[in-house]
Amino acid sequence: MTIPTTYSVALLLTVLTMLCWGSWANTMKLAGKWRFELFYFDYTFGVVLAALLAALTFGSIESGSVDLATPSFSFLDNISVASKRQMLLATGGGAVFNLANLLLVAAIAVAGMSVAFPVGIGIALIVGVALNYLIKPAGSPTLLFGGSAVILAAIIVTALAHSAHSLSKATGEEPDVKTVPGARAVHRPGVRRGPSPLKGILLSIGSGILMGLFYPLVEMSKKGEIGLGPYAAAFFFSLGVLVTTPVFNLFFMNLPVEGDPVGFGQYFQGTARQHLLGVLGGAIWATGAVANFVAASAPQSVNVGPAISYGIGQGATLVSALWGLLVWKEFAGATAGVRVRITLMLILFVAGLTMLSIAPLY
């Protein structure tokens, strides 16, 4: 199977992860008024197809003798000798990620990105980096955890920027009113309609904890003499996503966090473009996941380590922010104070990712 042989290539794979994980959500925006519950079925198909394609191509290239002590055997050889326990661990990782991802998307629908991403991804970063370092220590702990702290600070600044921007836009809108039949409208400044903010926060916290737990399960599936290689782990991970999507997603369809319940028949009312965008979104995310798993499985001399690989991958929040700023113009008309926060956020993210990148050198 194809495995990086230099640290620079392994690091580039983690950067590819960051780009993919930070960009797949653009397909959801491009799908327009298409409920996330319906989009997610196509997203799941894309995850499985991309993982299987990677396993049958890059994961099946013979790069040496079949030796269980090295990651040189092919995908099919790997799954023929790997233990059922390792397969279940990777599948479980996919199931945990799937619930975390659905909770994150639901939190965005309820509370917006200003709550969902900072809270969810911030918690996931702390949990994931710490657990992965305990499982397989690699790199300077000072740089590793210091970089994680700087990225967490960047996430907090992002939340402050979103909140300030939302507040500035709200002040330019009409105050909330309560209309009484036969009477004049009564202005009630400070009252906001919509779901309780607590719901969005709780969804984000749940997503963050689960998002931080899935990666250690994948790493555990690769342990031992009959552990899974990165491509086999990605394949069984995708099966975990596939098997659990009907269960998790039907719950959200029948008990939606926002809007009316969604019937499965509505899935077939989507356009070909919307379905293809969903598949593309899943394929982009899975490409990043495969790159991440492969980078963390490189030979010890060039290995970036799972904690660093995961930490840089979570820098996808930076990529998402850039998409929002430069393409979707989410901060159009922002005040000077908000622009300062956005600039600070970008600086902190670059500094934190740099610390994570050089951690193995010390």
Looking from the CA of 360 toward its CB, the CA atoms found within 13 Å total 21
CA 222 to chain centroid, in Å, comes to: 21
Residue 179 maps to a domain: no
Residue 24 maps to a domain: yes
User: Any idea which of 159-173, 209-223, 338-352 has the lowest mean pLDDT?
Assistant: 159-173
Question: DSSP string spanning 29-41?
Answer: HHT-S--HHHHHH
pLDDT, tens only, 233-259: 999 999 999 999 999 999 999 989 888
Alpha carbons 340 and 351: distance in angstroms, whole number: 17
Residues contacting residue 196 through CB under 8 Å, at least 6 positions apart: none
- Give the DSSP H or E segment for 158: helix 141-170
Residue 318 tokens read as: 């930076």
Residue 134 maps to a domain: yes
Identify the band that residue 205 occupies on the pLDDT scale cut at 50, 70 and 90. confident
Residue 90 maps to a domain: yes
- Tell me the whole-structure pTM to 2 decimals: 0.82
Q: What does pLDDT average to over the chain?
A: 83
Domain count, the chain: 1
State the residue range of the domain holding 37: 7-171+195-361
Residue 83 tokens read as: 């233990």
Burial class (CB in 10 A: 0-12, 13-18, 19+), 194: exposed
Residue 271's identity, in one-letter code, is T
- Strands 177-178, 186-187: pairing is antiparallel
The whole-number pLDDT of residue 333 equals: 83
Q: Are 97 and 233 in contact (CB under 8 A)?
A: no
Residues contacting residue 290 through CB under 8 Å, at least 6 positions apart: 50, 51, 54, 58, 230, 231, 234
What number of other Cβ atoms are within 10 A of residue 16's Cβ? 18
Residue 189 maps to a domain: no
The whole-number pLDDT of residue 112 equals: 65
